[in-house]
Amino acid sequence: MNPLLTKFDTAPFSKIKNEHFKPAFLKAMEDARSEIDVITSNTVAPTFENTIEALEFSGQQLDRISSVFFNLNAAETNEEIQKIAQEVSPLLSEFSNDITLNEDLFQRVKKVYDQREGLNLNTEQQTLLDKKYKNFSRNGANLSAEKKKKLRQIDAELSKLKLKFGENILAETNKYQMYLSNEEDLDGLPDGEKEAAAQRAREKGKDTGWMITLDYPSYIPFMKYAKNRKLRRELSLVFGSKGFHGDELDNQENVLKIAKLRYSRAKLLGYKTHAHFVLEERMAETPEKVHSFLNELLEKAKPAAEREFAQLENFAKKIDEIDRLEKWDGSYYSEKLKQELFSLDDEQLKPYFKLENVIDGVFKVAEKLFGLRFEEVKDIDTYHDEVKTYRVYDLENNFISIFYADFHPRAGKRGGAWMTSFKSQWKEGGQNIRPHISNVCNFTPSTPTKPSLLTFNEVTTLFHEFGHGLHGMLANTTYPSLSGTSVYWDFVELPSQVMENWCYEKEALELFAKHYESGEVIPMELVHKIKESATFQEGMQTLRQLSFGLLDMSWHGTDPSDVTDVKAYETQAFKGTNLYPDTLETCMSTSFAHIFQGGYSSGYYSYKWAEVLDADAFAYFKENGIFNQEIAAKFKEHVLSKGGTENPMVLYKRFRGAEPKVEALLERAGLLQN
């Protein structure tokens, strides 16, 4: 019996073999098609229940199989899984098109939509109806037969190209290893980082020496602490040139094809560009608004960024007499300058951020804010023995969610950090079906002498992803497609980014920032320094984020048909945001997985957009106490639990009482005086 085709609650990972996936996908698609046939062959006139709700609850087994498979392809993949992904992705794309291009189904949906004024629907039902109708109208339902065929071809090709893009990045990351046999090459690295590098070398089959890789817990400390400029340069160039070597892992052609196919798809559907298509369903609404938003922040941040860069370059020249500051110098000298200005570095902080303590801390923050209790359990099946599992309850002992947590790098895991879901939340037959949520990260692992001690950046990352997790866990909607993080993309980062704010607050830090050996609570002096240094180089950081947003809009908000040189095009897009000298060997676009593999195409601006929301939201907490129960309850009620059931600005205003002000972000970032 194929375990994926049985009715399961938590995913039966230990029973699943790779050969189960493709047959399961094929059978689940066949079953879902049968469910669609039942809707279209119904002789009773279309109603909200027999058409819209029936469509919403169709294909649930297929959704579960997809969530298990594609989460594994991101967190625990191998060549066989990647091959299956290349085979099933076009099939899923075709299946999706079979639904949105099904004329009989569309006509039934349209009939219900046309009668919407007289149906007496509640807000969530109205949103679902609107979303279902737009899913057809925005994805080709009104096209001619010939254009529908063309759309299918584009979607099938895009699904394969995006997978290939990601596979190439993972292969590039795993391929490179910097093996060092001379300990002098590690000068500047803290002892814990040296020990981790030695452990890495043993894991890679070396009896002696040290190994540096492109995984963040290895790459970032080396760039931050290693004195050897030549080695920093080598590592930086390799990291920055992923997918840009003209070999079998090169992504330049994939970038051009993806951008051009997206443009062709948008034109086919009657939109000016891919960005116009995407932003129609976002808070920002239009590319013009996005550009206006990014440029307003650019105007405020650029003078500060240029001052900060000049300060950093002068500092570097003063202490090491370098000719000019290069990309491989930034982290190294920033860390040194930060230490000089604030007497603060990650090595001072890391002993207070043992991974288990930080996990406990984020749980305590969730308990104080939202009344949640996390109970670690060992009886839930996982895909790797490093994955921790929890059952989540409220203070009345009602079951809220299953939570999976997977924290360290592995060869089969893509880089970065993300939240995902193995099962959505919805209501059916008087039952509230609770979700299964997962956080996946790539944090510093433990060594033979030290537990996993996090950098402060890793602490904020954990809180960030957990914020997404809360959005999923606290979902309380009727329909799965409107549940949890199923919201406008420029709203989805609010719950995650707002959670980061607690990492800077004494009241929150005292809950978990305890020395891993002595148990001493983090000294107030260090808390003060964390707060004080929070806006260090904020201008440069803002400029960097804006440059990524502008690059995204450049690829997706214009006609890329004539672009032939990825690097030259990117250089032009970065023109107004450059601080460091360009390096011919590197290219951002060929490894910009957010926009070419993930869901952020025409949406990278949303990180900054949501920062405005989160700064404004946290200002509300700060005014009334960071653990204020009343405000936390409003945030849970109007933001975390509501998913995509209403327009996000309506939900935000219900929580805050007014629209967010960009000044809140500028003030927090220390950019108002510009």
Mean pLDDT of the region 430-455: 95
For 22-57, the three-class secondary structure string (H helix, E strand, C coil) is HHHHHHHHHHHHHHHHHHHCCCCCCCHHHHHHHHHC
Q: Do 521 and 585 have their domain in common?
A: no
Whose tokens are 């190994």? That residue is 211
Where in the sequence numbering do the catalytic residues fall? 465
Strand pairing report for 431-433 and 436-440: unpaired
pTM of the predicted model over 0.85: yes
Instruction: Output the furthest CA–CA distance in the chain (Å, rounded).
Output: 82
Mean pLDDT of the chain: 96
pLDDT at 674 (0 to 100): 45
Contact 417, 464 (CB under 8 A): yes
- For residue 403, give the CATH number of its domain: 1.10.1370.40
Dist CA 613 CA 293 (whole Å): 13
Bridge partner list, 404? 389, 438
Contact 203, 171 (CB under 8 A): no
* Within-domain flag for 371: yes
Mean pLDDT of the region 264-283: 97
pLDDT in tens, 123-175: 999 999 999 999 999 999 999 999 999 999 999 999 999 999 999 999 999 99
pLDDT class of 640 with cuts at 50, 70, 90: very high
pLDDT at 400 (0 to 100): 98
Dist CA 177 CA 192 (whole Å): 19
Q: Do 518 and 597 have their domain in common?
A: no
* Within-domain flag for 558: yes
Residue 148 to residues 61, 159, 328, Cα–Cα distance (Å): 27, 17, 48
* Within-domain flag for 461: yes
Residue 191 lies in domain: 176-240
Q: Give me the number of domains the chain comprises.
A: 4
Mean pLDDT of the region 4-33: 97
Mean pLDDT of the region 460-489: 97
pLDDT in tens, 396-420: 999 999 999 999 999 999 989 999 9
Is 258 a residue whose pLDDT tops 80? yes
Contact 186, 180 (CB under 8 A): yes
pLDDT at 329 (0 to 100): 98
Amino acid at 250: D
Buried b (16+ CB within 10 A) or exposed e, 374-397: beeeeebebbeeebbbbbbbeeee
Amino acid at 107: Q
Closest Cα partner for 589 from 558, 606, 565? 565
Mean pLDDT of the region 492-507: 96
DSSP 589: G
Mean pLDDT of the region 200-219: 95
pLDDT in tens, 544-555: 999 999 999 999
* Within-domain flag for 649: yes
pLDDT in tens, 524-537: 999 999 999 999 99
Whose tokens are 């070396």? That residue is 206
Mean pLDDT of the region 55-68: 97
* Within-domain flag for 168: no
Mean pLDDT of the region 196-200: 95
* Within-domain flag for 504: yes
| Residues making up the chain, counted from first to last | 674
Neighbours of 422 (CB within 10 A): 18
Q: Do 270 and 137 have their domain in common?
A: no
pLDDT class of 361 with cuts at 50, 70, 90: very high
Is 384 a residue whose pLDDT tops 80? yes
Q: Which helix (H) or strand (E) holds 172?
A: helix 145-175
Bridge partner list, 439? 405, 419
Mean pLDDT of the region 218-241: 97
Q: Do 288 and 381 have their domain in common?
A: no
pLDDT in tens, 92-121: 999 999 999 999 999 999 999 999 999 999
* Within-domain flag for 545: yes
Q: Do 130 and 9 have their domain in common?
A: yes
Q: Do 478 and 362 have their domain in common?
A: yes
pLDDT at 673 (0 to 100): 64
